Amino acid sequence: MDLLPATPSDFRSTSYWDSFFRKRADRLFDWYGEYADLCGVLHRYAKPAQNILHVGCGTSRLSEDLHDVGYRRLTNIDLSEVAIERMCERNRSARPDLNFRVMDATKMEFDDSIFDVVLDKGTLDAMMGGNDVESDVVMKAFSEFRRVLKAGGRYVCFSLAQGNVLDTLMGHFGGGGDWFVRVHRVEIVSSEDGQGMPVFAFVMTKVKEAPFKIFEICHGCDDAPKRLDTADALVAEVQEMQRFGLMKRELTSLSPGRDLPVSLWQKSKEGDSLRYVLHVVDNKSKSSNGKFAVFIVPQGREIEWFFASEEGRLQLAATAGYSRLAIAILTRDQKYDSLDVVKAELGKEVTALAPKDISPTAQIPFLSLGDDVSCRTIRHRGCSERSGEFVVEDVQHEDGSFFRRLIFLSAPSVVQSEARLIQKSLPKRKEEKKKRNKKKKQTAPPSCDLKVDVTYLAPYHQKITTSIAWIKSLKTNDDISLLIIGLGGGGLISYLSYIFPKVHMTVVELDGSFVEVAKNWFGFEETDSIRIVVGDGLDYIKEAQENAFDLIIYDMDSKEISEGLTAPPQPFIQIEILRKVFTALKPNGVLSMNFVCRSASIRKSTLKNFQSAGYLTVFSAPNIGEVNETFFAPKIDDAKFEPQSAPWLRDNVRYLDDIIRKKDPNGGKMTSTLKEVKHVPYD
């Protein structure tokens, strides 16, 4: 630790470097790799017969290694007299023609235009070791490099390309037409783990004033150059390689149970597009199947708990039984022809994500839920001032069924609304053709052949529908009134209207644009028993009359989820609003809400707010395998009320099931839900 400078400016101090090399004694010191790492670039741009200047040579073995393979016109300079004395002493008899001189790179004593190559391995980075560097110092060095280089000569700079260094290099050499710029990514394997910060070789070729600029990048020492249009594009490529290098470095120390996301982009003439998102997870438990595998998530399944939540992905990794699992999410707006195509594409990339002790020739197994990547078709794309960009998309499950979803792109792993799709009645000829082809894999049918199945409910909506049974007068009251905050795609309202056509519903939707989305894409229809109000649900609750509703339902999400609350929005669970809801409920009415919260403290404070607002008790029905739960907060005067032991509630549930079975072939959901309801203690 005592070799490190006290301040970044010490990197430019002669006394610091004299002390540095004095403390190292006879030990050699190499920045950014050794000859074996760098020779690919060096031999490409510096030939043995050329006159080469190595600036800031220190006590590196690089010049000695170059000399030993035939480079005999080498001049080495450093501002540290101690370093130069050590190098002269070490090479006096073995390499008497190897030239070492004490000299400052910003004011060199050489004639103009005498060197073919100026070699810099870490010197610029040292000069710019702090933000307090005087720019004219670096500019003087660049001016000297240009002065001593011949026309067509090259400044070859090995650097970590930190932000200030990269800006300075591109600002100077990329700004005019008298330098051609090429960058190589250098793979360093001589370090202990081979996973240090990525090193770059900047090759600046001195030319006479040219009418155009050239910017090129090579992703390896021996790769063919890729031509870029601007210096900014070159900087972007370097920064992307740096991010990838940092990611590889993180993977070497990835602790079990940690989830590291990695993005894979596809380049095209139209621009870069996100192709895959991979979550790399190291298994906490002992692996049983091998060291590394890739799990491909079919399109449309990425919203499921196993893939959308960190907890789910950790459980999936443990179940798969590999030391490391990369979970690949297929992004929307991309076309995937087959599972084999996906495997081929990922096979080229995922080797970089494998544990470092895995063989480079090892076969990486690919896992999935089926034999294909499923199907996703975007039917509509829009943008709301309140909710941002959104899409309506149809997805196909592995059983061949189709679902339509409303997705906000600000939270692409969360389904805002979902409807099951069924095919419309087909003409006889089409029906016969369909039967002949029934064994063939289904593909997404045209939108005109699909209709929304109003008998379908999303799992959490099934729980919310149960709250109707909590209305004590359900069987005897023909004038049941509901207030629903949040329309979304209208699936819940359509279902309730289908099952209970006489129930009066007031639906408050903050974003009016989604009323049209619900009508156009999710089969929602306004009826005499449905009243749509476009406005703020908070304002509506504040103005609601006393004893106005038998049931109030919260079915909206929050756009502010930084604190761990996804639904409902925070203002709706404050004491004042919960108290207003309590007042607006009729006696024995109930507040039902979809509650999605990853914060134990917020959940606890929410329950305290219920208590302070006058609710004597609250119940919860969890959605198995999901984060969300359904809260039931009845307006009753019995703090010891138990749903399963209330005869009228059990009777209402059976009554509800009978109605549903008559209209819904998949009925019978309510009885099972009541069994799952648990009392939630306030303390």
Q: pLDDT tens digit string along 299-349?
A: 888 888 788 888 888 888 888 888 889 999 998 888 888 899 999 988 878
- Report the alpha-carbon distance of residue 64 to residue 429 in Å, rounded: 84
Residue pair 12/126 in contact (Cβ under 8 Å)? The answer is yes
List the Cα angle 302/284/251 in 5-degree steps. Answer: 75
346: left (phi over 0), alpha (psi -120 to 50) or beta: alpha
Question: What pLDDT sits at residue 10?
Answer: 45
Considering the entire predicted model, what is its pTM?
A: 0.61
What are the tens digits of pLDDT across the range 493-547?
A: 998 888 888 889 999 999 888 899 999 999 898 888 999 999 999 999 999 999 9
Q: Check residue 26 and give its pLDDT.
A: 53
| Strand 530-534, strand 504-509: pairing | parallel
pLDDT of residue 3: 35
Position 440 scores a pLDDT of 46
* Among candidate residues 453, 455, 299, the one with its CA nearest the CA of residue 378: 299
Write out the residue limits of the CATH 3.40.50.150 domain(s) in the chain.
23-249, 459-679
Right CATH for 23-249 from 1.10.274.10, 2.40.30.260, 3.40.50.150, 3.40.50.300: 3.40.50.150
| Pairing relationship of beta strands 388-396 and 402-408 according to DSSP bridges | antiparallel
**Interatomic CA distance for residues 209 and 496, integer angstroms:** 76
Q: Which H or E run includes 404? A: strand 402-408
Instruction: Kindly state the tokens that stand for 325.
Output: 């699992």
Q: CB under 8 Å to 348, separation ≥6 — which residues?
A: none
Non-local (6+) Cβ contacts of 575 within 8 A are 609, 612, 613
One-letter amino acid identity for 504?
H
584 touches 549 (CB < 8 A): yes
Q: H helices then E strands: how many in the chain? A: 20, 28
Residues 553 and 484 sit within 8 Å (Cβ to Cβ)? yes
pLDDT value at residue 95? 93
Alpha helices in 253-381 (DSSP H): 305-308, 310-320, 339-347
Low-confidence ranges of the chain (pLDDT < 70): 1-31, 129-135, 176, 189-196, 210-211, 248-257, 267-272, 398, 425-448, 559-563, 624-627, 664-672
pLDDT reported for residue 628: 79
- Residue 421 makes CB contacts below 8 A (sequence gap 6+) with 394, 401, 402, 403, 404, 450, 451, 452, 453
Cβ atoms of 245 and 223 closer than 8 Å: no
Distance in angstroms (rounded) separating the CA atoms of residues 412 and 516 = 21
Gap between the Cα atoms of 603 and 398, Å rounded: 36
Phi-psi category of residue 149: left, alpha or beta, with phi > 0 → left and psi -120 to 50 → alpha: beta
Fold of 459-679: Rossmann fold (3.40.50)
Structure tokens at 591: 């507040």
The Cα–Cα gap between 593 and 632 comes to: 7
629: tokens are: 């739960």
Order of strands, sheet of 402-408, starting from the edge strand that comes earlier in the sequence: 375-384, 388-396, 402-408, 415-423, 450-452
The domain 254-368 is placed in CATH, from the list 3.40.50, 3.30.230, 1.10.3470, 2.20.70, at 3.40.50
